[in-house]
Amino acid sequence: MPQNDLIAHVRALNEQFRHHSAVPVLAHALSDPAFGRIALVSSFGAESVVLLHMLSITRRDTPVIFIDTRLLFAETLVYQQELAERLALSDVRIIRAGQADLARHDPDGTLHQRDPDTCCALRKTAPLEAALTQFGGWITGRKRFHGATRQALDFFEIEAETGRIKVNPLAHWRREDVQTYIEENRLPRHPLVAQGYPSIGCMPCTSSVREGEDIRAGRWRDREKTECGIHFAAGKVTRNGVSA
């Protein structure tokens, strides 16, 4: 589909689905021929179980991409294996930065201290971009209540630089909706949630959150950085159908 037609299609979908719930949005994303092959990208973090569960009851053979940065909490790695097995997800793809790239750019494993943006680009953005080249779109768990660059999220977006579709089925969910869904479906929580980690990334760059703080306050604490970079195109966050 030509890019202009795809932009019009995405804007029409956002209008069509603006009063719909997450499952119909997800189901449409998995069946829309304009999107091509599509994958879900999951961190297997604090809220990931919601979208993974929806996928398991919608189309569990959908590819699920998990980025192992080699700096994750041990609890995340165990949770990823246990959750994939429990939900019977049949196509989980674990991707990592190559050892040669790590040896060249982060030989002592301290890049996250000196330059966290470059560390994220090396360990997350580049491996994901390589994995997504075979897909026409991807599904994310981003939500408006996360604040910052996510407050204007739509269900459907287009990455202007790549032309890929990005789908955010939970964009309009509130934090209470996440909690209710997990409880009603008796889903296992990430073990670090009970220890004060409502948003979980790499171990060196994630801290617990105090009562009253923003849900993502523990990510890159005391730095201006708020995103790892995988949701940016040409350095800009994608918003309202095209990159802003």
The span from the CA of 169 to the CA of 54, in Å, is 10
Annotated catalytic residues are: 228
Q: Phi and psi for 222 in degrees, rounded to 5?
A: 70, 15
- Positive/negative CA dihedral, 86, 90, 94, 95: negative
